[in-house]
Copies of this chain bind each other. A is one copy, B any other.
Amino acid sequence: MAASILSKIEELAKSRNVPCKAVLVGSAARNTWLSGDHDMDIFIAMPEDQDLGLALEIARLVAPHHEEKYAEHAYVHATLDCFEIDLVPCYQVKDASRIKSAVDRTPFHNEYITARVRGLEDEVLLLKQFMKGIGVYGSELRVGGFSGYLVELLVISFGSFPGVLRSAENWRPNEVIFAPESSQIWRDLFHEDPLVVIDPVDPKRNVAAALTLDRMFQFVAAARCFLKQPSLDFFFPAAFLPLSDEEVLGHMERRKSALIVIELPVPHLSEDILFPQLRKAEHSIAALFELHGFDVLRSDALLSGGSGFREDDDRASGFLEAGPGSCQSAGSGDEGIARLLFELEVWELSSVKRHPGPPVWEAEHVERFLSRHIETISGPYIQGGRAVVEISRRYTEPRGLLEREMVKLALGKHIRQQVEKGYRIYLGQEILQIRDLEFRSFLARYFLQHNHLKQLQ
């Protein structure tokens, strides 16, 4: 498959006198390709003094039914024989420190790994599937996990799959791995990153920059559990089956909390654009609840339907893909549905709330504070040396709060547009009206929400 595309590119280049080279990169090039994956990356590398547009033109001809995407430069995405193929123009630079854009670095990664991974391919595959099983594989924003390249570097660094796990057992935040010199330099340079893995082809870069603290320690916890009690479940966890109405009610009865779903249609856009906006909306709304006195127990977000995100949702839900035999369409281009789930501790708050002001000895602040709070239910009085008033709460229940305040929030651009057009709020048992199976699986995962820490109990 890859070979035929590569030769087609070279044929086209020859006939049009374009001095480019086609390279298969990524896991497909290095035999570290998970059997569930259908991605193939082919880079079309041009000399530095040439126009990338010529390479893009060739890419378009290779796959007549394609869609053009855009990262730092335009590239072509196509589905050929069940494979998702990216055809990416890039520059052939002399060394990785002179790259013109991030994609130019990829051939260097390919070269570095290819030269060192031989004999370790199975270890890489084990680690990838392990990470996939526990939900930490993938560097896209929604997952915030480990990239394929990072996995390969870890295996090369620690020699084997169990070698990586044994190392991970003792990781701490801001762990530095693969540092060519003293760790402290890199720790200072990347002091906000939970894991620092210096890119061997470009030492100014942290390969693990996209990894979040929680994904990192989900891996650490799973490593500990697996070493203590190995099991195939880590690689192939049981799926979360969609909950029936009775099961949902059972969970609600056991939790006696205030469950709220906000549902809105979202436009046909790639998950890497939509999901960060959805998370931003989730965090803004959670902060809104807290600001108004509603303690948020937990929240989560789900993107369903539409194109671009199905594959990754499955991964996050703990589902594994159906395998290379079943080829699904990546999406119809329809709108998708975004759902935000919030769990509050209570449905209703007191009308009165305490509002502490400045210390009494700051006379001017006190005067200003008091002049802003003429209408009080109780007070002003003095407590802990501060002026305190008790005033009316603006919202005592969540629906009113959402209906009036949500539109004022910093939501992502596309989420905001939808919220302005219309959305729907489900409170408590109204959530049963959502009959979508993907959502019911998401609820199952939400309610249990355990990972392999369970096995340390």
Q: Could you tell me which A residues sit within 8 Å of B by CB distance?
A: 169-173, 194, 213-214, 217-218, 220-221, 224, 254-258, 293, 297-298, 344-346, 348-354, 359-361, 363, 366-367, 370-371, 373-374, 376-385, 387, 390, 396, 447-451, 453-454, 456-457
Contacts and interface: CB of A to CB of B under 8 A. Distances in A.
28 contacts: A169-B363, A170-B361, A173-B385, A214-B382, A217-B360, A217-B361, A221-B366, A221-B382, A221-B387, A254-B351, A254-B352, A254-B377, A255-B352, A255-B377, A256-B396, A257-B350, A257-B352, A293-B345, A346-B348, A367-B456, A373-B457, A374-B457, A378-B447, A378-B449, A379-B450, A380-B454, A381-B451, A382-B453
User: Among A354, A366, A370, A449, which residue has the most Cβ atoms of chain B within 10 A?
Assistant: A449
A446 to B, nearest CB: 8
B361 A350 contact: no
Given A220-B361, A221-B382, A255-B350, 7 more contacts: A173-B361, A213-B385, A220-B360, A297-B350, A297-B352, A345-B353, A379-B450
A388 to B, nearest CB: 9
Contacts of A254: 351-352, 377
Contact of A350 (B172, B214, B345): B345
A277 B30 CA distance: 76
A390 B171 CA distance: 25
Contacts of A221: 360, 366, 382, 387
Contact of A349 (B213, B346, B450, B456): B346
Q: Which 8 residue pairs of A and B lie closest in terms of their CB atoms, listed nearest first?
A: A257-B350, A256-B351, A380-B453, A217-B360, A255-B352, A378-B449, A370-B457, A172-B361
B224 A370 contact: no
Contacts of A361: 170-173, 217, 220
A132 to B, nearest CB: 17
User: Among A352, A377, A379, which residue has the most Cβ atoms of chain B within 10 A?
Assistant: A352
Contacts of A448: 378
Contact of A255 (B170, B213, B351): B351
A57 B218 CA distance: 79
A346 B349 CA distance: 6
A449 B213 contact: no
Contact of A379 (B169, B383, B449): B449
A384 B377 CA distance: 38
A443 to B, nearest CB: 12
A449 B366 CA distance: 17
Contacts of A169: 363
Nearest to A374: B457
A256 B352 contact: yes
A370 B41 CA distance: 43
User: Among A254, A345, A448, which residue has the most Cβ atoms of chain B within 10 A?
Assistant: A345
User: Among A218, A370, A381, which residue has the most Cβ atoms of chain B within 10 A?
Assistant: A381
Given A169-B363, A256-B350, A370-B456, A449 B381 contact: yes
A311 B380 CA distance: 26
A218 B360 CA distance: 9
A213 B387 CA distance: 12
Contacts of A390: 297-298, 449
Contacts of A173: 361, 385
A348 to B, nearest CB: 7
A447 B377 CA distance: 8
A429 to B, nearest CB: 15
A447 to B, nearest CB: 6
A373 B450 CA distance: 13
Nearest to A393: B256
A379 B450 CA distance: 4
A224 B255 contact: no
Nearest to A386: B217
User: Among A170, A218, A298, which residue has the most Cβ atoms of chain B within 10 A?
Assistant: A298
Contacts of A371: 456-457
